[in-house]
Amino acid sequence: MDRIEKAMEKAQLNTGVGFKKTNPINDELHQVEKITYTETQTLKLNQKELIQRRVVAQQKYSPEASVFKMLRTKILKQLRENNWKSIAVTGATQGAGKTMVAVNLAIAMAMEVNQTILLVDMDLKYPKVHWYFDLQIKAGLRDYLLSDIPLTDVLINPEGIERLVVLPGRGEAVGSSELISGLKMKKLITEISNRYESRIIIFDMPPVLAADDVLASMNYYDSALLVVEEGGNNELEVKKSLHMLSGTNLLGTVLNKSENPPDHQSYY
């Protein structure tokens, strides 16, 4: 583990945020100013189910939520300073916790009143964003790319998180990197990137070492966040991943499933 931390430190990327293996606790929804969506479908959330699935950033008072608020604040500072508008959340290998981080980061960012967030499930092979929100969806990004359905049929606003819109995934797409670099995807990215000035897009990506999807879509995002799994990723995997991401702006690394979170998170 020391060696992973050294590799992260060497790259001077660690956001200083780590997530312990933990069972989330219950809390109420943080209420925000009201926004009404006319075209986007609003779907109800089951708070108990969310928390079971480690979706915790919506909680008003909880140590788990505050970790994501800290991550949000650090990332927003970098985005604002550089005028970056989009983030790819990726990791070295499968199961590091990329989607868990992307979902919680999206919620934490959406709870700040200054911007709206679009969370896109760009893992066309194993989409899981809808699972985290426990959303029963009829269509996803792959359906949009392969058929004529309008974008509004796919977009979802999770109830109670007014500034968040989710573009979920569904099913398993064959040839995901071809779909990602295809014309329809390019048009979609142009449309969603230019529609609202104050919108930040978070892409939940597949692992950077397992497929070329992250590289194939590098033009779509301004920055990247690397999720590292303690005990699950070795130093070489971290180094290789950082190298693969050298073509974009690295926001930092997030150490997930850590038994030794940073000192300032004494409540862990």
Ligand X SMILES: Nc1ncnc2c1ncn2[C@@H]1O[C@H](COP(=O)(O)OP(=O)(O)OP(=O)(O)O)[C@@H](O)[C@H]1O
60, two tokens: 């008003």
Instruction: Give the nearest distance from C-beta 238 to ligand X in angstroms.
Output: 14
Cα–Cα distance measured from residue 156 to residue 148, given in angstroms and rounded to the nearest whole number: 18
Using the minimum distance from each CB to ligand X, give the nearer residue, 19 or 68.
Answer: 19
Instruction: Give the one residue of 18, 91, 140, 168 binding ligand X; rule: CB under 6 A.
Output: 91
The one of ligand X, Mg ion, none whose footprint includes residue 72, by CB under 5 to 8 A per kind, is none
Amino acid at the residue 51:
I
Using the minimum distance from each CB to Mg ion, give the nearer residue, 5 or 123.
Answer: 123
Instruction: Give the one residue of 71, 88, 100, 155 binding ligand X; rule: CB under 6 A.
Output: 100
Within 115-174, which residues bind ligand X (CB under 6 A)?
A: 123, 126, 128
204, two tokens: 């939940």
**Residue 17 sits in the site that holds ligand X (CB under 6 A):** no
**Residue 95 sits in the site that holds ligand X (CB under 6 A):** yes
Cα–Cα distance measured from residue 127 to residue 184, given in angstroms and rounded to the nearest whole number: 19
Cα–Cα distance measured from residue 74 to residue 114, given in angstroms and rounded to the nearest whole number: 15
**Residue 97 sits in the site that holds ligand X (CB under 6 A):** yes
Instruction: Give the one residue of 179, 221, 256, 268 binding ligand X; rule: CB under 6 A.
Output: 256
Contact stretch for ligand X (CB under 6 A) within 74-82, 92-100, 143-151, 164-172: 92-100
- Which residue pairs from 46-51 have beta carbons closer than 8 angstroms and sit at least 24 positions apart in sequence? 46/134, 49/134, 50/132, 50/133, 50/134, 51/24, 51/25, 51/26
The one of ligand X, Mg ion, none whose footprint includes residue 19, by CB under 5 to 8 A per kind, is ligand X
Specify burial of residue 200 (Cβ count, 10 A radius: 0-12, 13-18, 19+).
buried
Residue 112 pairs in a beta bridge with none
The one of Mg ion, ligand X, none whose footprint includes residue 268, by CB under 5 to 8 A per kind, is none
Residues at the site binding ligand X, with contacts judged by CB under 6 A: 19, 21, 54, 91, 94-100, 123, 126, 128, 207, 256-257
